[in-house]
Structure 1
Amino acid sequence: MIRGIRGATTVINNEESEIIQETKVMIEKMANKNSVQPEDIASVFISVTPDLNATFPAKALRLIEGWKYVPVMCMPEIDVPNSLSRCIRVMMTVNTTIEQQKVEHIYLNDAVKLRPDLQSGVKSN
C-alpha cells in the first residue's frame, strides 16, 4: 500500500547550509520513525515558503546514504498571508504496511504549530 508521510520544519535564516541541514534532519526522522528504506519510497515532494530561495532543499536527500535514486522535486508553497514563514514542507510517498493512523508525521522547530493534532509528545529539536 502506498501511504503519505508528512513532515515540516522551519529555519531561522535563508542560508543554504541551514536549509540543507534542517531538511536532512527532518527527512531522516521521517524515515526512521516509519521504518522507511530508500527502496520503499515512490517519491518525495518538498515545498518551501517564498522567503526561502538560497538553495534546493532536495540536496539534503543526496547526503543520506542510499538515497541517490529516490525521486525528489522542489516547489514553492502557496503564499498565504500570515502563514508560517521560513518553512520547508515534505510529502513522502512510500510503500508500507503501516496503518494510516499509525504513520508518524514529523513536525520540527516552529512547524509543530502546523498540526498539533498529529503531535504525540514530539517536541522541536
Structure 2
Amino acid sequence: MIRGVRGATTVEKNNSEEILDATKQLLKQMIELNNIKPYDVAQILVSATSDVNSTFPAKALRSFDGWQYVPIMCMKEMDVPDGLARCIRVMMTINTDIDQKEIQHVYLKGAVLLRPDLSHS
C-alpha cells in the first residue's frame, strides 16, 4: 500500500547550516517513527517558503547512509498571506502495510502550529 508521511519544521535564520540541520532532524524523526527503509520510499518532496533559499533542504538526505538513490526534489511553497515563515515541509511517499491512522507525521519547532493535532513535540 502507498502512504504519505508528512512533516514540517521551521528555521530561525536563512542560512545553509541551520536549514540542513533542521531538515536532517525532521527527516530522521519521520524515518525513525515510521520505521522507513530507503527501499520502501517512492519519492520525497520538499517545499520551502520563499524566505528559505540559502540552500536546497533536500541536500540533507544525502548525508543519510543508504539513501543516495531515493528520488528527492525541492520546490517553493505557495506564498500565502499570513503563512508560517521560514518553513520547510516534507511529503514522503512510502510503500507500507501500516494503516493510514498509524502513520506518525512529524511537526517540529514553529511548524507545530500547522497541525497541533498530529504533533509529537
Shorter-chain TM-score: what band?
A: over 0.9
After TM superposition, the runs of 4+ consecutive aligned structure 1 residues lying more than 6 A away are: none
The aligned counterpart of 1:33 is: 33
Shift of 1:22: 0.5
Report the Cα offset of residue 16 of structure 1: 0.3
Deviations 1:55-87 (A, max 9, x none): 000100000111100100000000001110000
Where 1:116 maps in the other structure, the secondary structure is coil
Aligned counterparts, 1:1-125, within 5 A: 1-119=1-119, 122-123=120-121
Identity of aligned residues (%): 55
Question: Residue 28 of structure 1 aligns to which amino acid in structure 2?
Answer: K
Code of the aligned partner of 2:26: M
User: What are the Cα deviations for residues 5-61 of structure 1, in whole angstroms up to 9, with x where unaligned?
Assistant: 000000000000110110011001001000100111000000000101000001000
> Aligned equivalents of 2:110 and 2:66: distance in 1?
29
Number of equivalenced pairs = 121
The whole-number CA distance in structure 2 between the counterparts of 1:96 and 1:36 is 9
Structure 1 letter corresponding to 2:34:
N
| TM-score normalized with structure 2 length | 0.98
Deviation at 1:118, TM superposition (A): 1.5
CA distance in 2, matches of 1:100, 1:45: 19
Q: Which amino acid aligns with 2:115?
A: R
Q: CA RMSD in A?
A: 0.6
